[in-house]
């Protein structure tokens, strides 16, 4: 009996497209694999040139995969959001009372990392929760082996109705929904949340709801009513404060939460078992604040993390953090993490293709940031404004008559880099 051939780190990526997170199978795959990618080894140009043509091609493929699968970095903004979401999900899951559990609303610009931040925290919770319960669903009916789903992730339908929203939730479990009436769908959702041991229900792209439409108002009432089922509701959207989702909500200064009145319509379907008010924490995942020394430091740390993840043969320490590069990258992306990642990712691929093997402003000037609009709703703020390339060009020095004090926000910090931040 011989040992199995070693598996190349690219095997799983090349083996097929991973399932989507909005199914139970896809969510479980995400929980298992979200930190399993092995980046390409760091090789010098001489080491790469000494390889066979086949090994060169494989290594380049691995480098490309590394550049498009950069690990999620902790930023001050993401840390604040993650702390609140984690506190709510874990705290609620330990409650022994039947009181309505408070939820969380997370908002911010499109491509800012809201979904990835929330899903990473929720996946970590699920892994821990399953291990603590020995992988057993505590709510399984006697004599059955009900599917255990501590976390459910669902994308709000682009044109949401109460029926389509219920169907999207039930699709996560692969449940049969054809021919069911709305009351039947609502009851099946309630039974599924309870029977599958759901502790957190994540509804992404919630700002697709338009509060001037009666159907959308009914959807929001329906979603809030699910909180009666002892589920932590996590709503993710681009501009929740400006979307109308806080309609009729009042700010409770003592509890520091938004308070909603009891749901108006869903009680007719038997879901509204109490008249308890629904409470939400509202938290923003913003951009880097580069008007303070702390914000600048956080932005530079993020760039250093991106730089560390690159596998370009001619890269050097400080390639993204030195000189005028930080200011350039800020102008190109407005500090939006997703835009910054796309610019660096495409730039790295161009650097490989051209043989340049490093990033500078000249190369990045050739990159147009193009966003994938497939499945995204521009009207809901899911696609951010991309700064015009011309706005990132270095401006000519002002004439003597026009001369003003220069902006030193992104000056090279020199001593910081030399002393390692000391």
CATH number where 271 lies: 3.40.50.300
Say whether pLDDT at 156 is over 80.
yes
pLDDT computed for residue 313 by the predictor: 98
The DSSP element (H or E) to which 193 belongs, if any, is helix 182-195
| 260 and 312 both lie in a single domain | no
Angle 76-93/293-309 helices, nearest 10 degrees? Answer: 90
CA-to-CA distance for 216 and 340, rounded, in angstroms?
Answer: 34
Structure tokens at 295: 């914000």
Confidence bin at 322 (pLDDT 50/70/90):
very high
Expressed as residue numbers, the domain containing 149 is 76-284
Residues 388 and 318 in one domain: yes
Please give the average per-residue pLDDT across 172-176, as a whole number.
Answer: 92
Question: Which residue's structure tokens are 């610019």?
Answer: 343
Based on the fold, state whether residues 383 and 399 are members of the same structural domain: yes
Angle at 120 between CA 114 and CA 125, to 5 degrees: 130
Tell me, yes or no, whether 98 and 177 share the same domain. yes
pLDDT at 2 (0 to 100) = 43
Rounded Cα distance, 281 and 110, in Å: 20
pLDDT band at 391 (very low <50, low <70, confident <90, very high): low
**Do 83 and 197 reside in the same domain of the chain?**
yes
Q: Is residue 403 part of a domain?
A: yes
Pair (358, 393) in one structural domain: yes
In this prediction, residue 122 carries a pLDDT of: 97
- The pLDDT assigned to 18 comes to 80
Whether the Cβ atoms of residue 189 and residue 226 lie closer than 8 Å to each other: yes
Q: Which tokens sit at 370? A: 């193009």
CB 313 within 8 A of CB 74: no
Please give the pLDDT value at position 417. 42
Same domain, 324 and 199: no
Q: Tell me if 248 is assigned to some domain.
A: yes
Number of domains comprising the chain: 2
Q: Give the closest residue to 94 by CA, choosing from 128, 69, 44.
A: 128
Q: Looking at the domain assignment, is residue 7 inside a domain?
A: no
263 shares its domain with 304: no
Q: Is residue 60 part of a domain?
A: no
Question: What pLDDT score was predicted for residue 135?
Answer: 64
Band (396; pLDDT cuts 50, 70, 90)? very low
> Does 16 reside within a domain?
no
The enclosing H or E element of 385 equals none
Judge whether 47 lies within some domain. no
Q: Left if phi > 0, otherwise alpha if psi is -120 to 50, otherwise beta: which for 375? A: left
Which residue among 242, 263, 284 closes a domain?
284
Residue 278: pLDDT band with limits 50, 70, 90: confident
Q: What is the pLDDT of residue 220?
A: 85
Residues 385-410, mean pLDDT to the nearest whole number: 49
- Nearest 5°: phi and psi at 185? -65, -45
Whether 311 and 194 share a structural domain: no
Task: Determine whether 22 is exposed, middle or buried from the number of CB atoms within 10 Å of its CB (0-12, 13-18, 19+).
Answer: middle
Do 121 and 245 belong to one domain?
Answer: yes
Locate all alpha helices (DSSP H) within 196-309, ordered by sequence. 214-225, 240-243, 293-309
The alpha-carbon radius of gyration of the chain (Å, integer) is 24
- Is the residue at 367 inside a domain? yes
What's the pLDDT at 272?
53
Asked whether residue 205 is assigned to any structural domain, the reply reads yes
Note the pTM of the prediction, 2 decimals: 0.82
Distance CA 115, CA 238 (A): 11
Mean pLDDT of 72-93: 94
What pLDDT digit, counting tens, does each position of 213-269 carry?
788 888 888 888 888 888 999 999 988 988 888 877 888 888 888 888 776 555 545
User: Strands, E, within 132-249: which ranges?
Assistant: 151-155, 200-204, 232-237
pLDDT tens, position by position, 101-143:
899 999 998 889 999 999 999 999 999 998 886 566 656 555 4
Dist CA 382 CA 390 (whole Å): 24
pLDDT of residue 397: 37
Mean pLDDT of the chain: 83
Token representation of residue 210? 């338009």
Tens of pLDDT, residue by residue over 179-216, are: 999 889 988 998 899 889 999 999 999 998 887 778 88
**pLDDT attached to residue 42:** 96
Single residue among 240, 257, 284 that ends a domain in this structure: 284
414 pLDDT more than 60 = no
Helix, coil or strand: residue 233: strand
Domain end among 261, 284, 307:
284
Q: Which has more pLDDT, 134 or 35?
A: 35
Task: State the Cα–Cα distance between residues 353 and 346, nearest whole angstrom.
Answer: 11
**Per-residue model confidence (pLDDT) at position 91:** 94
Domain co-membership, 240 together with 331 = no
The verdict on 257 and 376 lying in the same domain is no
């Amino acid at each position: 009996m011989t040992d199995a051939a070693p598996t190349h780190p690219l095997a799983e990526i090349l083996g097929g497209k991973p399932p989507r997170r909005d199914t139970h199978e896809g969510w479980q795959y995400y929980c298992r694999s979200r930190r399993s990618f092995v980046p390409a080894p760091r090789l010098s140009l001489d080491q790469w040139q000494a390889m066979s043509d086949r090994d060169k091609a494989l290594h380049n493929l691995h480098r490309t995969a590394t550049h498009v699968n950069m690990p999620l970095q902790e930023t001050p903004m993401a840390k604040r959001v993650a702390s609140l979401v984690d506190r709510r999900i874990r705290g609620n899951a330990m409650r022994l009372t039947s009181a309505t559990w408070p939820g969380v609303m997370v908002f911010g610009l499109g491509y800012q990392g809201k979904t990835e931040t929330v899903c990473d925290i929720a996946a970590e919770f699920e892994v821990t929760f399953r291990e603590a319960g020995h992988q057993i669903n505590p709510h399984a009916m006697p004599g059955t082996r009900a599917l255990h789903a501590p976390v459910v992730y669902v994308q709000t339908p682009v044109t949401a109705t109460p029926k389509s929203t219920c169907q999207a939730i039930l699709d996560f479990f692969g449940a049969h929904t054809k021919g069911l009436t709305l009351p039947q769908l609502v009851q099946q959702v309630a039974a599924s949340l309870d029977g599958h041991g759901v502790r957190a229900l994540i509804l992404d792209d919630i700002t697709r709801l338009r509060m001037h439409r009666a159907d959308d108002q009914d959807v929001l009432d329906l979603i809030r009513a699910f909180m009666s089922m002892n589920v932590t509701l996590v709503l993710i959207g681009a501009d929740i404060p400006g979307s109308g989702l806080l309609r009729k909500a009042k700010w409770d200064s003592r509890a520091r939460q938004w308070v909603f009145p009891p749901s108006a319509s869903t009680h007719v379907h038997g879901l509204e078992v109490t008249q308890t008010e629904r409470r939400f924490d509202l938290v923003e995942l913003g951009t880097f604040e580069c008007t303070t020394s702390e914000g600048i430091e956080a932005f530079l740390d993020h760039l250093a993390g991106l730089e560390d993840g690159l596998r370009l043969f001619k890269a050097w320490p400080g390639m993204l953090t030195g000189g005028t590069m930080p200011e350039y990258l800020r102008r190109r992306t407005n500090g939006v993490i997703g835009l910054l990642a796309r610019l660096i990712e495409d730039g790295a691929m161009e650097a490989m293709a051209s043989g340049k093997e490093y990033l500078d402003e000249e190369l990045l000037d050739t990159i147009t940031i193009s966003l994938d609009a497939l499945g995204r709703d521009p009207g809901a703020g899911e696609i951010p404004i991309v700064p015009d390339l011309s706005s990132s060009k270095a401006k000519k020095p002002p004439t003597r008559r026009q001369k003003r004090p220069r902006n030193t926000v992104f000056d090279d910090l020199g001593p910081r880099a030399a002393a390692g931040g000391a």
